[in-house]
Amino acid sequence: MCGIVGYIGKADVTNTILEALSRLEYRGYDSAGIAVLNGKGVEIRKRVGKLKILAEAVRRQPMKSGHVGIGHTRWATHGEPSEINAHPHTDCSHALAVVHNGIIENYAELKAQLVANGHTFRSQTDTEVIAHLVEELAKHTPLDRAFRQALKQLKGSYAVCLLSKQDPHRIFGARNGSPLIVGIGDGEAFFASDVPAVLEHTRRVVYLNDFEVVELSASGPTLTSLDGKPIKHTVVTVRWDVASARKEGFPHFMLKEIHEQPTAIEQTLLNRLDDVKGAITFDRRTKTFLDKLPADEKFIIISCGTAYHAGLVGEYMLEEFARIPVTVDLASEFRYRGPMLDRGITVIAITQSGETADTLAGIRLAKQHGSKVLAICNVMGSSISREADAVLYTHAGPEIAVASTKAYTAQITALMLLTLYLAKRRKRLPAAQWRLLVDGLAKLPRTVQRALESEDAIKAVAAKYASARNFYYLGRRYNYPSALEGALKLKEICPLIHAEGYAAGEMKHGPISLIRKGWPIVFLAPQSPVYEKVISNIEEVRARKGECIVIASEGDEHIARYADSLITIPKTDEFFSPIVAAIPLQLFAYYVADANGCDIDQPPNLAKSVTVE
Ligand code: BG6
């Protein structure tokens, strides 16, 4: 999951590419590089480490100006992070350069053939094989055809951009299984792995499909198939503006995105929830899809990471309120465990990016077996949203921080809409109870805003425990997934700390053995039918001198005596508590990581969307 960029136009290419790469750095940040086509031919600069190290090197030793270039920020898959393995990679004669996101599975085979043909390889990467393959084929055919022929020989996934001094008025790009878009500006054009990279210049984009090849000139793209057949393309104007891809005064994207949750939830409810009429609706495609579902349809939710925890909350809601049988699977297991799939199953794929490889493979497997696919996704035009039968978009805006926050609460909001829509359609809920939940949903953005107002109190609690190195998170029912999510947030952004989320009732079957004096345990204890059970779990931990950090409903006088540190959240129906409780869990993790000086937006070894297996 690297970030790639291509530019052709009138602006200074070096700055334009470095700026665009900075908007993609959440995709990978162990090394970076840029290639510029200028009077010197193909000039390349690469550095190990964050993009700012490359930018500093270019500042110290400027590249000769030009108007055509490609760039890359890397998350290593083949070959350790090093300057030689950083992209761009060139052919033997340095006449062309490529940047690539994905994995070329048959690279060793192709490399052996090319070495036998006299090519000299410099790196350990799979990507370099593309440059030499095009070089080899271009000996006998024009560059554009050589590029297409090379792509035909590649097995695996790729989003790739290529420039060549033989053809200074065009750059080339193509995708298969990895995201690539085209940005169309005024007398300039871009390739990019994701929309935020081009928002400074344009909101007009073309989402590419697999096996589409693009010749890009300053006046725009020409699309063909791998065989050179022309392909029509659609230009889409994205809703996101450039501010959404900036920190806007926050020290980290994560903190900004935590504070954007009231708006993200509001936008996800917009035009779907009418609390005056007491109605929930969706766009026609999604509504038709849902209305056609047979009464005995079963759901399988598949997802990864934080989206998996949203899926677990969805399971509880859909089973309890819509009475639909639901199982939840990690997509990486689902795709290989031989799941029972048939026409009576709808697979719900939950994904922020819409590009996660395991989830994408999961929906393809489902479709192969005749199952239907509903995606809950945050990125329009992404692979999963395009391959699903229907899509329930979360409108959280671009999520830049690697640790997911606003997409998570927007995903649960979408699952709430789905649950209440199906519960009503299937007459599963008494009207009064349904109305109560609809009113709660309508109030949710304000409720979350109120939860954010406890930021200072949460920061103080985080400071108290910032030096701890082990945490448990415990919860029951809807807040068992919250416990898992709380632990994941802390682990993601503060790699000094081990944290584990657990079903509170499971404690006594093992993990309780580790509890000793001062060991911090975060309890999710808002008002719920299992409140008393959680209290008993707190007492079990207190009996072993564990330190209890309790997240409870405001106005709960009773619980204070059980807590070493108490964090209160607005009182809501338990149905809404996973969203409201997410706020203190996110802020707690944020401030513990901040107190430990962690790289919060770009934690080591992680990336925003995992597009390779
Ligand atoms: C990880 C991200 O790589 O992928 C997580 O760091 C995310 O934040 C997970 O939850 C799943 O990604 P997605 O895009 O499919 O929701």
Residue 265 CA to residue 449 CA, distance in Å, equals 11
Q: Which atom of ligand 1 is nearest to the CA of 306?
A: 10
**How many whole angstroms from 71 Cα to the centroid of ligand 1?**
24
In terms of DSSP H, where are the helices of 240-304? 253-259, 261-269, 284-291
Residue 438 CA to residue 416 CA, distance in Å, equals 9
Reported as a single tens digit per residue, the pLDDT across 395-418 is 998 898 999 999 999 999 999 999
- The per-residue pLDDT for 524 is 98
Q: Which atom of ligand 1 is nearest to the CA of 492?
A: 6
Alpha carbon separation from 90 to 131, 331, 375, 392, 555 (Å, rounded): 6, 36, 39, 42, 65
pLDDT at 364 over 90: yes
Tell me, letter by letter, the H, E, C secondary structure of 292-330.
Answer: CCCCCCEEEEEECHHHHHHHHHHHHHHHHHCCCCEEEEE
pLDDT band at 606, cuts 50/70/90?
A: confident
Tell me, letter by letter, the H, E, C secondary structure of 155-210.
Answer: CECEEEEEEECCCCCCEEEEEEECCCEEEECCCCEEEECCHHHCCCCCCEEEECCC
pLDDT at 76 over 80: no
pLDDT at 240 over 80: no
- The per-residue pLDDT for 242 is 67
**How many whole angstroms from 361 Cα to the centroid of ligand 1?**
15
- For a mutational test of ligand 1's pocket, the pick from 27, 254, 306, i.e. the residue with the most ligand atoms closer than 8 A to its C-beta, is 306
Residue 295: exposed, middle, or buried by beta-carbon count in 10 A (0-12, 13-18, 19+)? exposed
Residue 70 CA to residue 98 CA, distance in Å, equals 8
Extended strands (E) in 466-519: 470-475, 498-503
- For a mutational test of ligand 1's pocket, the pick from 382, 608, 612, 613, i.e. the residue with the most ligand atoms closer than 8 A to its C-beta, is 608
**How many whole angstroms from 303 Cα to the centroid of ligand 1?**
9
Reported as a single tens digit per residue, the pLDDT across 556-565 is 989 999 999 9
**How many whole angstroms from 350 Cα to the centroid of ligand 1?**
10
Residue 58 CA to residue 604 CA, distance in Å, equals 24
Range 223-228 average pLDDT: 96
Question: So which residues are the catalytic ones?
Answer: 2, 608
- The per-residue pLDDT for 39 is 76
- The per-residue pLDDT for 149 is 97
**How many whole angstroms from 146 Cα to the centroid of ligand 1?**
36
- For a mutational test of ligand 1's pocket, the pick from 75, 402, 610, 612, i.e. the residue with the most ligand atoms closer than 8 A to its C-beta, is 610
Reported as a single tens digit per residue, the pLDDT across 514-523 is 999 999 999 9
What does the block give as tokens for 157? 């996934």
pLDDT band at 79, cuts 50/70/90?
A: confident
Q: Which atom of ligand 1 is nearest to the CA of 610?
A: 3
What average pLDDT does the structure give for the chain? 94
Reported as a single tens digit per residue, the pLDDT across 310-355 is 999 999 999 999 999 999 999 999 999 999 999 999 999 999 999 9
pTM listed for this prediction: 0.85
- The per-residue pLDDT for 249 is 86
- The per-residue pLDDT for 279 is 94
Alpha carbon separation from 417 to 271, 351, 574 (Å, rounded): 12, 17, 16
Task: Tell me which amino acid residue 146 is.
Answer: A
Give residues with Cβ within 8 angstroms of 456, minimum separation 6.
none
Helices 577-595 and 431-452 pack at an angle, to 10 degrees, of 20
Q: Which atom of ligand 1 is nearest to the CA of 399?
A: 8
pLDDT band at 391, cuts 50/70/90?
A: very high
Q: Which residues line ligand 1 (CB under 6 A)?
A: 304-307, 351-353, 356, 359, 402-404, 606-610
From the centroid of its chain, how far is CA 511? Answer: 31
Reported as a single tens digit per residue, the pLDDT across 154-183 is 999 999 999 999 999 999 999 998 989 999
How many other C-beta atoms are found inside a 10 Å radius of the C-beta of residue 328?
Answer: 22
Alpha carbon separation from 335 to 92, 339, 360, 499, 528 (Å, rounded): 40, 8, 9, 27, 35
- The per-residue pLDDT for 611 is 80
Alpha carbon separation from 486 to 480, 523, 605 (Å, rounded): 10, 10, 19
**CA-CA-CA-CA torsion sign (139, 143, 144, 149):** positive
Reported as a single tens digit per residue, the pLDDT across 546-588 is 999 999 999 998 999 999 999 999 999 999 999 999 999 999 9
